């Protein structure tokens, strides 16, 4: 540290904590409150796979005949599961 | 099948287009056939940053409306092999990007390209949603500044709920954090959010830190993506970023304050 810094530091002491710390604290609060990332629960892809396995025990369905959608309305989420069952004749075979 | 990558941020002016241009150039330099697509209909700028603004004849909206085919609209870069630009329309509005039209165009591009880099407009309106919707991966461009970080958090929420992958309940969009305009001296003075703070707040793995650099303005003035400016700090940081994206191990650089010389140490400055 240079000797001139001695005088500069005296001035700098006033803002010892730095504004970055303030920015971080404010952001942490706002990000937690706004919950920008209410993610789709990550168990859904594996649940989709398992549901499909159960259905396949009884009927033959392809991957693309199953449609899973998660929709969000206000505070609650709706899980929509759509499975197209094969025709009567196909099922008999 | 191409990988679709969206470059997004929510907030404007943080470096989405600069990042898109250098990222696309970097991927092409590594031998991957790459196209950079401008989704900012009405306010196109990717052509300007890539230096091909005078070669635009047809655009993305012309392709969607069937007024031109893709080959007519794609502009081949003159400096780098394997690199193309699909410009946005300057005269239409963003609603011209229909979901079906975008899907069809991306599907067609997928057949001949390895990477499709989508330059998102700022905001969370239709154009931005379209740029994000079909993405497999996302580069979240963030400045070390409160409004930018908050907007990035919002964008992450939209990626997690409104993208195709979210709606069809597939593996979620893979997110990468890109911090731009980073000034290590100010971070060490406690005046700027540090990269660790931003990573902690957003909870997204870091892909690269681009230092605040004179080279960025110089290169956009010239229409040369900054990654092509040899020896520039920002350019090297983008080269590293691309290498990391492709799976190479690269240490992060340009993160520490420049060491002061003898004179400056003694007399300040």
Kindly report, residue by residue over B107-126, the tens digit of the pLDDT.
Answer: 999 999 999 999 999 999 99
pLDDT confidence tier of residue B5, bands split at 50, 70 and 90: very high
Distance, CA of B100 to CA of B103 (rounded, Å): 5
pLDDT confidence tier of residue B257, bands split at 50, 70 and 90: confident
Determine the pLDDT at residue A43: 72
pLDDT at A12 over 60: no
pLDDT at A35 over 60: yes
**Cα-only R_g, chain A:** 29
Determine the pLDDT at residue A51: 81
Residues 6+ apart with CB under 8 A from A73: none
Mean pLDDT of B92-120: 95
Determine the pLDDT at residue B262: 64
Residue A81, both tokens: 């599961």
CB-CB under 8 Å, A20 with B190: yes
Residue B23, both tokens: 């990222």
Is B93 touching A (CB cutoff 8 A)?
no
Alpha carbon of A93: minimum distance to chain B alpha carbons (Å): 30
ipTM of the complex in this document: 0.82
Determine the pLDDT at residue A14: 44
Sheet holding B206-211, edge to edge: B75-76, B83-86, B34-38, B115-119, B3-8, B137-142, B174-182, B206-211
Mean pLDDT of A79-86: 80
Alpha-carbon torsion (B39, B44, B50, B55), positive or negative: positive
The answer to whether the CB of B235 falls within 8 A of the CB of B229 is: yes
Distance, CA of B24 to CA of A86 (rounded, Å): 45
The answer to whether the CB of B20 falls within 8 A of the CB of B122 is: no
Q: Is the pTM of this model over 0.90?
A: no
Residue B49, both tokens: 């940053």
* Contacts B169 to A, Cβ<8 Å: 40, 44-45, 48, 68-70
């Amino acid at each position: 540290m240079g000797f001139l810094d001695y005088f500069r530091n005296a001035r700098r002491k006033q803002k010892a904590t730095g504004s970055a710390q303030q920015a971080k604290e404010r952001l942490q609060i706002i990000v937690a409150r706004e919950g920008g990332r209410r993610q789709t629960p990550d168990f859904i892809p594996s649940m989709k796979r398992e549901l499909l396995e159960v259905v396949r025990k009884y009927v033959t369905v392809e991957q693309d005949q199953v449609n899973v959608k998660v929709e969000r309305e206000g505070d609650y989420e709706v899980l929509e599961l759509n499975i197209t069952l094969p025709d009567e004749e196909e099922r008999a075979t | 099948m191409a990988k679709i990558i969206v470059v997004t941020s929510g907030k404007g002016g943080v470096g989405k287009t600069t990042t898109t241009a250098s990222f696309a150039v970097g991927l092409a330099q590594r031998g991957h056939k790459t196209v950079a697509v401008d989704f900012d209909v009405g306010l196109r700028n990717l052509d300007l940053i890539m230096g091909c603004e005078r070669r635009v004849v047809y655009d993305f909206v012309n392709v969607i409306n069937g007024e031109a085919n893709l080959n007519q609209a794609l502009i081949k870069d003159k400096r780098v092999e394997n690199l193309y630009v699909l410009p946005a329309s300057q005269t239409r509005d963003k609603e011209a990007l229909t979901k079906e039209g975008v899907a069809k165009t991306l599907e067609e591009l997928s057949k001949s390209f390895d990477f499709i880099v989508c330059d998102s407009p700022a905001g969370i309106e239709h154009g931005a949603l379209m740029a994000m919707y079909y993405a497999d991966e996302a580069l979240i461009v963030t400045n070390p500044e409160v409004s930018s970080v908050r907007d990035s958090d919002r964008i992450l929420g939209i990626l997690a709920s409104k993208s195709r992958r979210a709606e069809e309940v597939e593996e979620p969009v893979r997110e990468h954090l890109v911090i731009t305009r980073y000034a290590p001296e100010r971070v060490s003075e406690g005046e700027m959010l540090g990269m660790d703070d931003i990573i902690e707040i957003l909870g997204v793995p870091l892909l690269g830190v681009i230092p605040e650099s004179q080279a960025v303005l110089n290169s956009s003035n010239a229409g040369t993506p900054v990654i092509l400016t040899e020896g520039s700090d920002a350019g090297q940081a983008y080269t590293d970023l691309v290498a990391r994206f492709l799976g190479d191990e690269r240490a992060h650089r340009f993160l520490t304050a420049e060491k002061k010389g003898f004179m400056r140490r003694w007399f300040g400055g």
